[in-house]
Amino acid sequence: MSFRASILTLYPEMFPGPLGVSLAGRALERGDFALETVQIRDFGVGRHRMVDDTPSGGGAGMVMRSDVVAAALDHAAPEADTRPRILMSPRGRPLTQERVRELAAGEGAVIVCGRFEGVDERVIAGRGLEEISIGDYILSGGEVGALVLLDAVVRLLPGVMGNAVSGDAESFEGGLLEHPHYTRPAEWEGRTIPPVLTSGDHGAVARWRHDEAERLTRERRPDLLPGKSR
């Protein structure tokens, strides 16, 4: 069975959004993956379908109710559903290409998009939600984070990228940033292409690319090099 994403959100109109165009869009049309949205408000409380309330202990903003989020989750993914249950959260484990690869190898994901100040802690514990962050900054909601995560996953699914090889050499896949790219014209605004790339010597090209990848990683992201901890 192919990858199935269920997204719990107050703004289902944000999906498929960017996942509806280009390679992802065509893959979605072909059914290489499926994307379903669940409107959390449908599980809201009372005549006004309330989904949030004031924070216990006081303070600004609103908190999404655990009973409402749990009802939406239990509808989207009953207990027998073994897909990972994810909460987009700035407090989560930072998303890595490794986790993206694991998710792409699985059956899908159920993703809760927070809004307001976040969600009641008890539903995170009670439904075993895996908190994932897309970086050290605050978004206004989890939707853009979910789109980032799914974009990264979907391009790894079988059949999605035309040229499967181009997935391998990319930044992070080998633990290094990717080497620079060039294409025609041979000269542009006085800048030329490194001669080794047009030499026809495949061994020399491979060595140059590896050396450049190492140089860039050392300069920009020494934390990625072996022996360096984050």
Does the footprint of ligand SAH cover residue 7 (CB under 6 A)?
A: no
Is 64 or 154 the residue whose CB approaches ligand SAH more closely?
Answer: 64
Q: Does 139 carry a binding-site annotation?
A: yes
Does the footprint of ligand SAH cover residue 142 (CB under 6 A)?
A: yes
Q: Which DSSP letter does residue 61 get?
A: S
Is 86 or 104 the residue whose CB approaches ligand SAH more closely?
Answer: 86
- CA pair distance 52, 50, nearest whole angstrom: 6
CB of 11 to ligand SAH, least distance (A): 11
- What is the pattern of x (binds ligand SAH, CB under 6 A) and - over residues 150-179? ------------------------------
Q: In this structure, how many other beta carbons lie within 10 angstroms of the beta carbon of residue 2?
A: 14
The one segment of 25-33, 128-136, 180-188, 220-228 that binds ligand SAH by CB under 6 A: 128-136
Q: Does 10 carry a binding-site annotation?
A: no
Q: Say how many residues make up the chain.
A: 230
Q: Pick the closest to residue 8 from 34, 32, 41, 44 (CA basis).
A: 41
- CA pair distance 193, 181, nearest whole angstrom: 9
Contact 42, 50 (CB under 8 A): no
Crossing angle for the helix pair 22-30 and 142-154, nearest 10 degrees? Answer: 80
Interface contacts to ligand SAH, rule CB under 6 A: 88-91, 113-115, 117-118, 133-135, 137-139, 141-142, 145
